[in-house]
Each structure stands twice: as C-alpha cells, then as structure tokens.
Amino acid sequence: MIDLLELHKYFIGRHLRPGDVAVDFTMGNGHDTEFLSKTVGKCGHVYAFDIQEQAVASTARRLREAGCPENYTLIHDSHQYVKNYVKTPFRAGMFNLGWLPGGDKSITTLRESTMPAVEAAVDLMDRDAILNIAVYPGHAEGDAEGRMLCDYLSGVSRHKICATQVKILNSPTSPYFIVIETKP
C-alpha cells in the first residue's frame, strides 16, 4: 500500500537540494523540520513555525539529538505571519494540518490562519518549488480546511502553479495531501 508520508517526502525530494531555503509551516514534533534540515544541509536554511511552545521545545530537542546542522530558525508564532520572518523565496514548504501529535487535540490549525498562511506561501515560492499540505479530514475543522484549500487552489491560474490532490479514494476520512508546484 502507498505510504502517504513517504510519498510526501518523495515529492519534496524532487525539488529540494543542498543550499536551498525550506519552510515547515507546522513544526509539530519536528519530524518534517528534521527532514528539511538534513536535506538542505549546512549551506541551506529552514524556517519552522508553531504556535505551541511545547512544539518548539520538542523540535529543538529532536534537531539536536538527530545531529542536524544549525541551519534552522524555530519560530514560536503562527504560520500566517510567515512574511514577517521569511524574506526570500523558498524551494520547499510543508504544512501538516491538524493538531500536535501527543498534544492537546483541542488546539488545531484553523481556517482563519491556514488560508492566509497558504496564500503567503504560494507568493513566497521560488521557481521550481514545491509546497505540500497534509490535510486530516477526520475531524470537522480538518475537513473544512481541506475543502477551503481545494476551493481556493482550484481557482488559481495553472500558469502560476500546478495543484494536485493525492487521496485514498476508498477511505474518505483518511489523510490526504495537496502538492503545489511552480514551473522551473
């Protein structure tokens, strides 16, 4: 069976190279931040966002323990404010919507911050860049976020981006992801 998380990383790996800039819009426990840090290497840089101090601390610990190069900036703020921190185009970005694994499930990403974050992310994408958004429709807000993003992205010119949805058809509440790519 297809492992959606591995597929997620496969798509990122087709665009992201050592020395590039990447953004983890929802750092959580730092798994994606670690992947991005190791991929861009010492000469690259990763910006990672989360609103929960627990996520920032967990990610910092993970990056140290994994031996990641000190090529990252961990930001305790909402991803909707990405343009306050990231001033250059990025080659790869990742959103993992929902809640912090092992954390308080009442604290989730919300449409009112996710939408401006995704719009800003699309604006900040470099040429030949990718943005992956993991959506979790198994709870009401996650389902609403996914529908909102699909509506928005279906209206963006295909001459600006290519937006693709990767979904398990016979499991409607399973996570899926959206891949957004810019032209080389």
Based on its alpha-carbon atoms, the radius of gyration of the chain, rounded to whole angstroms, reads 15
- Structure confidence at residue 71 (pLDDT): 98
Report, in this order, helix, strand and coil percent for the chain, each rounded to 5: 35, 25, 40
Domain ranges across the chain: 4-181
The CATH number fitting domain 4-181, selected from 1.20.1250.20, 3.40.50.150, 3.20.20.140, 2.10.70.10: 3.40.50.150
Confidence (pTM):
0.96
- Structure confidence at residue 38 (pLDDT): 98
Name residues of the chain where pLDDT drops below 50: none
| 79 φ, ψ (degrees, to nearest 5) | -60, -20
Are residues 144 and 151 in contact, defined by beta-carbon separation less than 8 angstroms?
Answer: no
